[in-house]
Amino acid sequence: MIDLFNQQNLEDHLPPISEEELSDEEVLKQAYALQEELKDKMLVLGHHYQQDDVIGFADVRGDSLKLAQDAAKIDKPYIVFCGVHFMAETADILTPADKQVILPDLRAGCSMADMANRAEIDKAWAYINGSLSGEKVVPVTYINCAATLKSFVGENGGSICTSSNAEKIIEWALEKGDKLLFFPDQHLGRNTCYKMGIGLDEMITYDPNKFNGGVTPEQIQKAKVILWYGYCSVHQGFTSQQVTSLKKQDPEINVIVHPECSFDVVQAADEAGSTSYIINRVKELPAGSRIAIGTEINLVNRLAQEFPEKKITSLSPYQCLCTTMYRVRPRWLLASFRAIKEDKPINVIKVDELTAKGSRTALETMLSLS
């Protein structure tokens, strides 16, 4: 859950709202100066999808798990997480109690994480297990989810996975049990399982918005993999038609997509992989390579700037950006820094100990397997 500790102090630390309101340039100037002043007590983490004016403050860049792990290693009392709420939750779970994790804007959420709430999960678990006769279902969740889902998985003998290690974790789950229940991103689950040789006819999708998830007990009994009906709104913006059109215009272009894209997009692309995979592949490809990437636009644009000797574009002609990640702005960073200077932090993210315990169990399972 989110602890709105000292939330009432937020307005006290924001730039003044008047005709003398700070310009964007002055916000950046003051925030950088304050960051330097607070460098011994504050760590700023920046997710790859952040905009350049925010990522410029990052002491460490990375994906959600790497950033949470980095937070746990560095001995500073305040962690400012430029990401979304489930990422800040993971950082709080993995860091000691004497560290405080701060999300600059509490509205920075994740639509996919919101597609799986604990009440719906418990209801689905009861229905799925009630439809079976002794078969063991092992739950696995993508790390892009709320702490309550991480905790559920830990409580029920499952594991967390990332887009990098999903295949290994799913293999473990199917060795441990008879069936896999995969949360919350159906596309990562489907794409990974298909890559492992599991047929589409062995997978069903449980939709919590439908009666009994839209599946019958007979379908559950027959299925090997049960996918939760969740998805990333950013990666829904890519289509197989975009791949086909680009390939028609330029047969030599390399199309690389994230496995959160739909099945037909992944099948049409040349390669699919995690954010770290995409970054590493861009580095590896020779100068002059033409690359179309199917993932969040801020990362794509940053790669294009970092590798000007390669022609890097987005797979989509539209701006596929994470609108909730976009909520973290330098102005809110400045407010967070001001509050930290006074040792009165705002927007502190705190996961209750019972939820954190189950979540840690699931995270430790993943780390031991990886």
Q: What is the mean pLDDT of each run of 10 residues along the chain (370 residues)?
A: 40 42 91 96 92 93 83 90 92 92 91 92 97 96 95 97 94 97 97 98 97 98 97 92 96 96 97 94 96 94 95 87 84 96 95 95 90
| Domain edge (last residue) among 166, 201, 233 | 233
Same domain, residue pair 222 and 159: yes
Same domain, residue pair 190 and 172: yes
The residue assigned the tokens 């994470």 is 322
- CA–CA gap between residue 327 and residue 310 (Å, rounded): 30
CATH number of the domain bearing residue 285? 3.40.50.10800
Q: What length is written for the chain?
A: 370
Same domain, residue pair 97 and 144: no
pLDDT of residue 77: 95
Instruction: Report the relative pairing of strands 225-228 and 203-206 from DSSP bridges.
Output: parallel
- Residue 235: phi and psi, rounded to 5, are -75, -10
- CA–CA gap between residue 282 and residue 307 (Å, rounded): 8
- CA–CA gap between residue 293 and residue 272 (Å, rounded): 10
Number of domains in the chain: 3
In a domain, 319, yes or no: no
Map the chain to HEC letters: CCCCCCHHHHHHHCCCCCCCCCCHHHHHHHHHHHHHHCCCCEEEEEECCCCHHHHCCCCEEECHHHHHHHHHHCCCCEEEEECCHHHHHHHHHHCCCCCEEECCCCCCCCHHHHCCCHHHHHHHHHHHHHCCCCCCEEEEEECCCCHHHHHHHHHCCCEEECCCCHHHHHHHHHHHCCEEEEECCHHHHHHHHHHCCCCHHHEEEECCCCHHHHCCHHHHHHCCEEEECCCCCCHHHCCHHHHHHHHHHCCCCEEEECCCCCHHHHHHCCEECCHHHHHHHHHHCCCCCEEEEECCHHHHHHHHHHCCCCEEEECCCCCCCCCCHHHCCHHHHHHHHHHHHCCCCCCEECCCHHHHHHHHHHHHHHHHHC
Same domain, residue pair 83 and 189: no
In a domain, 359, yes or no: no
Let me know the angle formed at the C-alpha of 53 by 143 and 297, rounded to the nearest 5 degrees: 55
Sequence-distant (6+) residues with CB within 8 A of 60 are: 43, 44, 45, 46, 67, 70
In a domain, 365, yes or no: no
Same domain, residue pair 193 and 295: no
The neighbour count for residue 224, using CB atoms within 10 Å, is 15
In a domain, 92, yes or no: yes
pLDDT of residue 48: 86
Q: Do 255 and 292 meet the contact criterion of CB atoms below 8 Å apart?
A: yes
Same domain, residue pair 44 and 68: yes
Dig out the tokens for 283 from the structure.
């580095």
Same domain, residue pair 225 and 261: no
- CA–CA gap between residue 64 and residue 145 (Å, rounded): 11
In a domain, 16, yes or no: yes
pLDDT of residue 1: 39
- CA–CA gap between residue 268 and residue 157 (Å, rounded): 35
In a domain, 138, yes or no: yes
In a domain, 20, yes or no: yes
Same domain, residue pair 298 and 337: no
| Domain edge (last residue) among 269, 288, 314 | 314
- CA–CA gap between residue 173 and residue 151 (Å, rounded): 17
Q: Do 62 and 55 meet the contact criterion of CB atoms below 8 Å apart?
A: no
Q: Do 145 and 139 meet the contact criterion of CB atoms below 8 Å apart?
A: no
Same domain, residue pair 268 and 162: no
In a domain, 254, yes or no: yes
Same domain, residue pair 84 and 117: no
| Domain edge (last residue) among 233, 267, 300 | 233
- Residue 8: phi and psi, rounded to 5, are -65, -15
Same domain, residue pair 150 and 222: yes
Same domain, residue pair 124 and 100: no
**Domain membership of residue 264 as a residue range:** 239-314
pLDDT of residue 16: 41
